[in-house]
């Protein structure tokens, strides 16, 4: 019997990654992410999957970012009863990230109900913190290189993918076919993370294409960040930095610490990390020393590079402080959480600055800010943007076009087919063309909901 894959997400967009592999009546899901960005994408989170959750036998996770793991609590809530296999780092991060995601959704729904700006009465969270907590025991940690049997006759092996702690590429073997899922591939020259392992030999490859149409600049993040922070410090302003709580928050903290050590920015410039999830994620770097480049001393410095803000009261109190100061707060594309309150408070003042640190999916507030918009909608209101907006070009945690192609070239032999996923239509199609032209391999950009052979 054939092995098929259905693209339930991460097809034609960078979010909502869900790849359903089916063979002989068995169903395995690789990644289980939330859709983010445009409203028509976010609405997909509220529609039923093409398969009933109770029919899914097991889930494999490439990493913990919400666009790859954030749908799990809803999957369990709606009937999934199997195991979720992930690396130790991914399991540890999910223990922080998923309950926080549920909590933020509850907070956002409550805020919408108090201020009556939702079209729904009442506004409801997609899932709650309790839903997330009930999901966590299902996550089974596996070691890199360990052969895992998610169900009889199916084998999986996890390999380091760089990107963030625990990020993995996954080789799935079933019915004599070898299917390789790249996950989100990190950069060989990343400031924090170790480089991805070489690609395993496979018949079918799914490769991400977030930056499939471009090459990263040759300079590093410190070169871009130093003059921006110096400008805002000199004018006494506040820099609001929307960051992904896992990965970019830690990279920014490390970069700021290095700039202070070098004397390139004032050592007295106050730094605040306003995200309980980011605070706890930062502490995990000490528990996973083999996955990143930091020395023990640098890891210790990472946890002391900022004033850690935990409570809502502490977060609100930041609004009464005067600049200069830097506030790092989740989320990285300004889609929710505390950073929205900071943006609403500080975006209107020309002394202030908004620093965007990673990919901004179309339809997100981050993308709106990056486009130069003079206003952004927050909590049902249009907020004027007079602050300087800085988009860092060297801060991405994703491999670029050339690095993605180099990873594919590391395979011992050409695969039968490559599916280009996890990218907007432009970058995905450009990577497809590059794979065909430079490698001579068969490459396809699958559509949402389409079914293809493995």
Q: Which domains does the chain have, with CATH numbers?
A: 4-214+397-453 (3.60.15.10), 221-391 (3.40.50.10890)
pLDDT averaged over 10-residue windows placed end to end, the chain, 454 residues: 94 96 98 92 93 98 96 97 97 94 86 74 89 98 97 97 97 98 96 96 98 93 96 97 89 94 96 87 88 92 89 92 93 87 96 93 92 93 96 92 98 97 97 97 97 96
- If one counts every other C-beta atom within 10 angstroms of the C-beta of residue 366, the result is 28
CB 206 within 8 A of CB 19: yes
pLDDT score, position 119: 67
Q: Is the dihedral of CA 444, 450, 453, 454 positive or negative?
A: positive
Q: Model-level pTM greater than 0.85?
A: yes
Cβ–Cβ under 8 Å, residues 59 and 19: no
Distance from chain centroid for Cα 344: 23
Cα separations in angstroms, 262 against 227, 256, 267, 307, 353: 13, 10, 9, 20, 22
How far is it, in rounded angstroms, from Cα 382 to Cα 398? 32
Residue of 307, 312, 313, 382 whose CA lies nearest to 347:
382
Q: What is the pLDDT of residue 1?
A: 65
The DSSP result for 36-100, as a single string, is -SSHHHHGGGGSPPSS-GGG--EEE-S--SHHHHTTHHHHHHTT--SEEEEEHHHHHHHHHHHHH
pLDDT of residue 118: 64
In the structure encoding, which two tokens stand for residue 63, read together?
């990493």
* Cβ–Cβ under 8 Å, residues 162 and 185: yes
Q: Which residue, 200, 169, 207, 144, is CA-closest to 400?
A: 207
Report the pLDDT value the prediction gives residue 389, as an integer from 0 to 100. 97
- Nearest Cα to Cα of residue 232 among 354, 340, 316: 354
pLDDT given for residue 379 in this prediction: 86
| Sign (positive or negative) of CA dihedral 395, 132, 43, 120 | negative
- The H or E element spanning position 362 is none
Helices (H) and strands (E) in the chain, counts: 14, 22
């Amino acid at each position: 019997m054939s092995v098929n894959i259905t693209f339930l997400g991460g097809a034609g967009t960078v979010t909502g990654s869900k790849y359903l592999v089916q063979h002989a009546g068995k169903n395995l899901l690789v990644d289980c992410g939330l859709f983010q960005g445009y409203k028509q994408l976010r609405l997909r989170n509220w529609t039923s999957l093409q398969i009933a959750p109770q029919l899914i036998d097991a889930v494999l996770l490439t990493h913990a970012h919400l666009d790859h793991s954030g749908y799990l609590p809803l999957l369990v809530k709606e009937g999934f009863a199997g195991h979720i296999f992930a690396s130790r780092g991914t399991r540890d991060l999910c223990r922080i990230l998923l309950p926080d995601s549920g909590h933020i959704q509850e907070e956002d729904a409550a805020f919408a109900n108090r201020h009556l700006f939702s079209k729904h009465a009442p506004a409801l969270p997609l899932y709650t913190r309790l839903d997330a907590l009930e999901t966590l025991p299902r996550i089974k940690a596996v070691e890199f290189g360990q052969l895992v049997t998610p169900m009889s006759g199916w084998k999986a092996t996890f390999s380091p993918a760089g990107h963030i702690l625990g990020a993995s590429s996954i080789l799935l073997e079933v019915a004599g076919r070898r299917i390789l899922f790249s996950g989100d591939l990190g950069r060989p020259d990343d400031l924090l993370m170790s480089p991805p392992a070489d690609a395993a030999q496979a018949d079918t490859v799914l490769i991400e294409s977030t930056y499939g149409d471009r090459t990263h600049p040759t300079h590093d993040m410190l070169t871009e960040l130093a003059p921006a922070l110096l400008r805002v410090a000199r004018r006494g302003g506040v820099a609001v930095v929307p960051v992904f709580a896992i990965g970019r928050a830690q990279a920014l903290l490390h970069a700021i610490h290095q700039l202070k050590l070098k004397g390139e920015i004032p050592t007295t410039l106050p730094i605040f990390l306003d995200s309980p999830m980011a605070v706890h994620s930062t502490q995990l770097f000490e528990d996973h020393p083999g996955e990143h480049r930091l020395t023990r001393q640098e890891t210790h410095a990472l946890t002391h590079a900022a004033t850690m803000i935990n409570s809502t009261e502490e977060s609100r109190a930041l609004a009464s402080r005067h600049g200069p100061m830097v506030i790092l707060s989740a989320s990285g594309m300004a889609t929710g959480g505390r950073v929205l309150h900071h943006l609403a408070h500080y975006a209107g003042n020309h002394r202030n600055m908004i620093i965007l640190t990673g990919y901004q999916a179309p339809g997100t507030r981050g993308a709106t800010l990056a486009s130069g918009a003079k206003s952004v909608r927050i909590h049902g209101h249009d907020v004027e943007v007079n602050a300087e907006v800085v988009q860092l070009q060297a801060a991405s945690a994703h491999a670029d076009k050339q690095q993605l192609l180099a990873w594919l070239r590391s395979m011992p032999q050409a695969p039968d087919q490559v599916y280009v996923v996890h990218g907007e239509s432009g970058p995905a199609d450009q990577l497809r063309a590059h794979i065909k032209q430079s490698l001579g391999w068969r490459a396809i950009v699958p559509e949402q909901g389409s079914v293809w052979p493995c």
